[in-house]
Amino acid sequence: MEKEELYQLSFQLILYSGNARSFAMEAMQEAKKRNFESARSKIAESESELLQAHKYQTQLIHAEAGGDHFELPILLVHAQDHLMTAMTLKDLAIEMIDIREEFIHAAAMKEGTAE
């Protein structure tokens, strides 16, 4: 695999990972405002972006497994960092949304206003 192709794959990883991270952050903000449906929608968008990022990552893995040898540019390392951060943040966002929903439900139960 040529260096230029590695750079292009790296940029795609950064793009989709950054989008995924942004959607995860937006999901947490929506949950903070008690807009849980919107928060879940943002998580779905984050997951969609991560799926796109994984497609590019899979290209790299398949190329290497197929015998391609290439020098590892720091940009690719940076892109992988973005991907892993976005994945972790998305998982954390899901947990935080769940906790907020549980907290609100528990408070409503305590006040006797739960459905």
81 is an annotated ligand-binding site residue: yes
pLDDT tens digits for range 97-109: 999 999 999 998 8
Residue ranges making up the domain that contains 44: 3-113
Q: Residue 86 to residues 20, 50, 75, 111: CA-CA distances in angstroms?
A: 6, 8, 16, 37
Q: Is 54 a catalytic residue?
A: no
Question: pLDDT for 65-88, tens place per residue?
Answer: 998 888 888 999 999 999 999 999
Question: For residue 91, what is the domain's CATH number?
Answer: 1.20.58.80
Question: What's phi and psi for 73, nearest 5 deg?
Answer: -75, 150
Contact 13, 73 (CB under 8 A): no
CB neighbours of residue 58 within 10 Å: 10
pTM score of the predicted model: 0.88
The catalytic position among 54, 62, 69, 78 is: 78
Overall number of domains in the chain: 1
